[in-house]
Amino acid sequence: MKNRQTDWSQPQKQAMIGLVLILVKVIRRAINVFLPLILLYVVRSQTSSVDKWQILLIVLSAFMVVRAVLEYFNYRYYIDNNELVIRKGVFRRQLISLPLEKIQGVQLEQHLIHKLFGAARMSFDTPGTESTEVKIDAIEMHQAAALKAFILEHRAEQVQLPAEYEYDEKKIVTLGLSDLLRLSFSANHVEAFFILLGFLFSMFENIRSVLSDKINSWVNNAAGWLPQGSFTAMVALVVFVLLISVVISVARTFITYFNFFISTREKGFRIYGGLINVREKLLPYSKIQFITWRANLIRKWLGIYLLQYYSVGSDNVKDNQQIRVPVTRTDFLPSLTDVYHPEIAEGKEGRRIHRAYVGRKTLISVALPALLVTGVAWYWLEYYALWILLLIPLGFFHHLFFARKFRYYLSEEAMQVRTGIWGIQNVLLRWDKIQKISVKQTLFQEKKGLATILLHTAGGTVLVPFIDKSDAFAIRDYALYKIETSESSWM
């Protein structure tokens, strides 16, 4: 077999089918770039000469083919000094090296075209793979199997996942019927209302295409009696919408959290629950990057929080795939956070952000856009356009409350951020979980001696805006010290 003798230290080419795949990719990119020209071609006037278009098409096609061929022949992969090296590019040459011990998994994908030619696409899972292009688009199957075996053999250590079942589990949070009802009634009904609205709108759009005439006559009739309708009718409508929204909230809560529990194991949490789709998740403690828990106004009064674990790649995962745990009793909270880090803020006076935040944020994110929109809207609405300017005081109070309530707390091993205008949101971040630190300063902030610090983790970013520049630098230096002297693995 050819694969047995493959010398991975020698640069390898992709499988021949790679050429077709590159061509498809180049064509797709070209379509994106030349879309205006393609549209022009489609809507061109009949009088214009066809020859011009033919020449343009031939030149572009030739360029694409030459580029694809060059890209194919310039692509090489090999193993050098325990690193997977990929060399590629025509106009922009790229040399990517991926240490083998960083590879957590090797994926092989076969689309129809791969299957026809006995090839596969090989991609390499690393915690940072999302934004990179560490993959081989076309590799013959036997080569792929050999390379995968080679990499897995040479990897420093296999990733240890928690066992499927453990008998020493201890349930730390369980939700009963009363918990579910409290959760349902305190849910964000406005959100539920918009979901209902979206659903009704899409249904209406579908029905309208079938029954457009009938619907028009119903709408006309309704428009006739609506102005005559009494105040009671309007109130009834509002109550009806509110009731439906509450019903939707109850249904959503039961579908997501029916029979919900979270249990602790030696190395991680097991999270289980759901009515129609039962979801079970294993979350190793070491993978938790930071934790948030938040409550809207009603839930804040009732002492109910929704806690969320941000693990590696959380910011790239769909909303319904996130790991959220309802905290219906305050004594649940420590058992959910302490394994990562105990809460810092309780009973402490936190540090505040600078008041310049309010004016600056109102100016940039509300006042200037509102003035611009008012200017444009004046053309159609005239004096009515001035109503848009009401957004400015609203924005001002929003940012004022935000800045007044913002607190951050620092401790030896972690920091906590507490925000919230009506409700409350807490973020708990351990210093050693940070991947990168950025300190940002606009020209205005620089003049005032202020800065914004961004603490990037593998699960998302925690931000503290408008603090003293010296504080931002001190936090950065301390966080770097903690990261660089930490002996525990960040995942």
Partner 1 sequence: MEFSNDRIDISDLPRAEQVEWQPLESTYAKSVAFRAVVSWFLFCGAFLIVRYFVPGLQQKWMLIWGISGITVLHFFSWLISYLSFLRKAYALRERDILFRSGWIVRVEEVCPFSRVQHCSVSSGLIDRNLGLATLRVYTAGSGRDISIPGLREETALSIKAYLTQKIGAEDEEQAN
In the region spanning residues 324 to 383, those forming contacts with partner 1, defined by CB under 8 A, are: 351
**φ/ψ (deg, to 5) at 428:** -120, 120
- Cβ distance to partner 1 smaller for residue 374 or 461: 461
- What are the distances in angstroms from CA 244 to CA 194, 195, 240, 257? 11, 11, 6, 20
Work out whether 93 is an interface residue with partner 1 (CB under 8 A).
yes
Please name the residues in contact with 352: beta carbons below 8 A apart, sequence gap of 6 or more: 403, 406, 407
Work out whether 315 is an interface residue with partner 1 (CB under 8 A).
yes
Smallest gap, in angstroms, from Cβ of residue 345 to partner 1? 13
DSSP structural state of residue 259: T
Query: Hey, which residues between 47 and 86 contact partner 1 (CB under 8 A)?
Result: 48, 52, 56, 82-83
Question: Of 43-51, 142-150, 234-242, 397-405, which segment contacts partner 1 by CB under 8 A?
Answer: 43-51
Work out whether 107 is an interface residue with partner 1 (CB under 8 A).
no
- Cβ distance to partner 1 smaller for residue 78 or 117: 78
DSSP 186-210: TS-HHHHHHHHHHHHHHHHHHHHHH
Contact 84, 100 (CB under 8 A): yes
DSSP structural state of residue 15: P
Question: Of 140-148, 201-209, 277-285, 479-487, which segment contacts partner 1 by CB under 8 A?
Answer: 479-487
Contact 119, 49 (CB under 8 A): no
Residue 154's identity, in one-letter code, is H
- Cβ distance to partner 1 smaller for residue 174 or 438: 438
Question: Of 71-79, 99-107, 273-281, 297-305, which segment contacts partner 1 by CB under 8 A?
Answer: 99-107
Query: Hey, which residues between 177 and 236 contact partner 1 (CB under 8 A)?
Result: none
Smallest gap, in angstroms, from Cβ of residue 311 to partner 1? 10
Query: Hey, which residues between 385 and 444 contact partner 1 (CB under 8 A)?
Result: 410-412, 434-443
Query: Hey, which residues between 253 and 312 contact partner 1 (CB under 8 A)?
Result: 312
Size of the site for partner 1 (CB under 8 A): 72
- What are the distances in angstroms from CA 449 to CA 58, 196, 352, 406, 463? 59, 48, 15, 19, 18
Sole binder of partner 1 in the list 125, 169, 191, 471 (CB under 8 A): 471
Query: Hey, which residues between 118 and 147 contact partner 1 (CB under 8 A)?
Result: 126-128, 130-132, 134
- Cβ distance to partner 1 smaller for residue 125 or 166: 125
Instruction: Give the residue carrying structure tokens 């009732």.
Output: 302
Q: Reduce the DSSP state of residue 408 to 3 states and report it.
A: strand
Buried b (16+ CB within 10 A) or exposed e, 28-57: eebeeeeeeeeeeeeeeeeeeeeeeeeeee
- Cβ distance to partner 1 smaller for residue 280 or 477: 477
Sole binder of partner 1 in the list 9, 54, 97, 322 (CB under 8 A): 97
Element (H, E) at 401: helix 391-405
Contact 407, 418 (CB under 8 A): yes
